[in-house]
Amino acid sequence: MNRRLLLPRESGLFRYAELWLDGAEILYVNSSRFSERYSRFQISDIQALVVTEFSLWNPLRSASLGLSFFFTLLLLILAPGAWAWWAVVPGIWLVFALLDVARGPRCRLVLHTAVSTVTIEAVRTMKQANQAVPALRALITSVQGELSRDGMTITAPIRSAGDVPVVKNTPLLQRVLFGMVVAHAGILAVLFFAKQMENGLGLSFTLLAAEIVMGIIAFNRRREVGIWVAALSMVIAILATVDAGVLGFSMTKSWIEFFRAVDRGGVRPENIEWLWLREQTVARAIWHAVVGLSGWVAWLINKEPDAQ
């Protein structure tokens, strides 16, 4: 029997779905882990495929990412001693939330025949749709011949029905991101020369969190920008993640040492010594300045001239 998967299995905690090519048929498997439902579609009977793209952010994604980040940060910084290990629980939740965001915008694929309309749960992201729809179209064309435009329809919000030209101009999100990164470098430089570096730790942590989220969102809009702008957006997200990890570790370590010193007596709150404060400030300011200015250079290179 000549049967093969058209896509890797789409899995969840309580479900999975698969899309198979079985000879001249499409086999769709939808499982709840306790029961499975099978549907077969003759390739010659398929009349239309409709893909609807949804926004990258929805209330569930936003709440999941925000709450997991908040509780991870709260436990890492404020929990004393061994209680900080409880940050592992929301930390795992945060990792899964970030992986979910990294999958990109979600979508819905609906298959139409003369007698049925079925939502294909095996295709849930635009990345999967971009892989599955061309393969399905090639199969349908090989059996039915070339289809009219109405035979294979792809719809997405905020896009015209025709071919979408490549936009070389950088959207507002990337410009805000690069501007924030450069501003972060400037603030760190001012605090460094004013010898007030410890006053910028909380601000840096907040800005790094914003840079992570905005960098991921900006990279997921890579179809709208040039390759260098998209690459720099992901570089910002990666560096900010590493930097936030180092900052979180150093702050936690500094607080632990501070409380130990308080227990021994003779230490006042203003005498806390922040771990790697000078080194972190310098390194953070340098990478923010380099990457942020590189982003503005990439934007100026990709910027289209105003229409005359």
Q: What is the pLDDT along the chain (308 residues), one digit of tens a residue?
A: 577 888 888 887 778 898 988 888 899 998 877 778 899 999 889 888 999 988 887 777 777 777 778 777 777 676 555 556 667 777 788 888 888 888 888 899 999 988 889 999 889 888 889 888 888 888 888 888 765 555 444 444 334 334 434 334 446 677 788 888 999 889 888 888 888 887 777 778 888 888 888 888 777 766 666 677 778 888 888 888 888 888 888 878 877 777 777 677 655 555 567 777 888 888 888 999 998 888 888 777 766 544 33
Closest alpha carbon to 291 in 214, 207, 231: 231
The pLDDT of residue 111 is: 92
The confidence score (pLDDT) of residue 110 equals 92
Give CA–CA dist 64/99, Å, rounded.
12
pLDDT at 161: 36
pLDDT of residue 270: 53
Q: Residue 264: is it exposed, middle or buried by C-beta count within 10 angstroms (0-12/13-18/19+)? A: exposed
Residue 307 φ then ψ, to 5°: -65, 135
Query: Mapped to the 3 state alphabet, what secondary structure does the chain carry?
Result: CCEEECCCCEECCCCEEEEEEECCEEEEEEECCCCEEEEEEEHHHEEEEEEEECCCCCHHHHHHHHHHHHHHHHHHHHCCHHHHHHHHHHHHHHHHHHHHHHCCCEEEEEEEECCCEEECCCCCEHHHHHHHHHHHHHHHHHHHCCCCHHHCEEECCCCCCCCCCCCCCCCHHHHHHHHHHHHHHHHHHHHHHCCCHHHHHHHHHHHHHHHHHHHHHHHHCHHHCCHHHHHHHHHHHHHHHHHHHHHHHHHHHHHHHHHHHHHHCCCCHHHCCCCCHHHHHHHHHHHHHHHHHHHHHHHHHHCCCCCC
Separation between Cα atoms, residue 100 and residue 92, nearest integer Å: 12
Task: Specify the length of the chain in residues.
Answer: 308
Residue 306's pLDDT is: 43
CB atoms < 10 A from the CB of 239, how many? 20
Q: What is this structure's pTM?
A: 0.46
Q: What is the pLDDT of residues 148-198, one digit of tens each?
A: 555 444 444 334 334 434 334 446 677 788 888 999 889 888 888 888 887
Pairing of strands 46-53, 153-155: parallel
